[in-house]
Structure formats: structure tokens, C-alpha cells
């Protein structure tokens, strides 16, 4: 599926992580794919309210939880810069799809990183 939201189509996901050599690009690519899939689900399912959006972001957050092993195997981890970058991109997604009142902490409430 192609992302139709132009703001999202132009957005550089996880930019701070790509710019930091501590995070291997091949693992960051996996995180970017999680965010792209989240956008595709939002466009396909069109959540009607914040509760429905949070269901989708919870699933995406769980996918990031599963990426911790990949980061560790690459001698990296989801630490402060990564946590902030990931959460910020979840918020960018929420606002781009009309959920400006989304709570950034609630968007990633399922995180264990």
C-alpha cells in the first residue's frame, strides 16, 4: 500500500537514529518499517477516535518492543535518543492523521524500552 498522506510521505522517520552511528541502519530500517505499517493501517482502518488510534499504536509499540533483541545483537539498544525519536515519530503520525490531541505517552504506553 502506498501512503497517501503527503505530510507522512515526506517525513523522514527515525532521522536522529539514522544520523547516529550507534544505531545500525539495518536495524533502524526495521523500526521505520513498523512506522510505515502503522500509517498504512491508519489509512486502511481510519480510526474514528483516539481509543481506536491507541489500539493501532499499541500494536506498533509491541513491534518496537520485539526489535530490542535486534538492536542488542547489533551492539546497540533502544536508549534515550531512540526512545525520544520513536515516541516523537508516533506523535507526528498521530497529528498528521488528525489526532492532534493524542497523548504522546499514551501512543507508546505499551513500550518496555
| Conformational region of residue 90, where left means phi above 0, alpha means psi within -120 to 50, and beta covers everything else | alpha
What average pLDDT values come out for the chain (113 residues) when binned by 10 residues? 94 98 98 98 98 98 97 96 97 98 97 93
pTM of the shown model = 0.96
Amino acid at each position: 500500500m502506498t501512503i497517501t498522506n503527503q505530510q507522512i510521505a515526506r517525513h523522514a522517520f527515525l532521522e536522529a537514529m539514522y544520523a547516529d552511528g550507534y544505531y545500525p541502519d539495518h536495524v533502524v530500517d526495521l523500526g521505520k518499517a513498523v512506522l510505515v505499517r502503522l500509517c498504512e493501517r491508519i489509512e486502511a482502518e481510519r480510526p474514528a477516535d483516539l481509543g481506536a488510534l491507541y489500539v493501532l499504536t499499541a500494536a506498533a509499540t509491541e513491534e518496537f518492543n520485539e526489535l530490542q533483541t535486534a538492536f542488542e545483537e547489533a551492539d546497540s539498544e533502544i536508549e534515550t535518543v531512540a526512545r525520544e525519536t520513536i515516541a516523537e515519530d508516533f506523535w507526528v503520525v498521530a497529528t498528521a492523521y488528525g489526532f492532534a490531541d493524542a497523548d504522546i505517552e499514551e501512543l507508546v504506553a505499551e513500550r518496555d524500552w
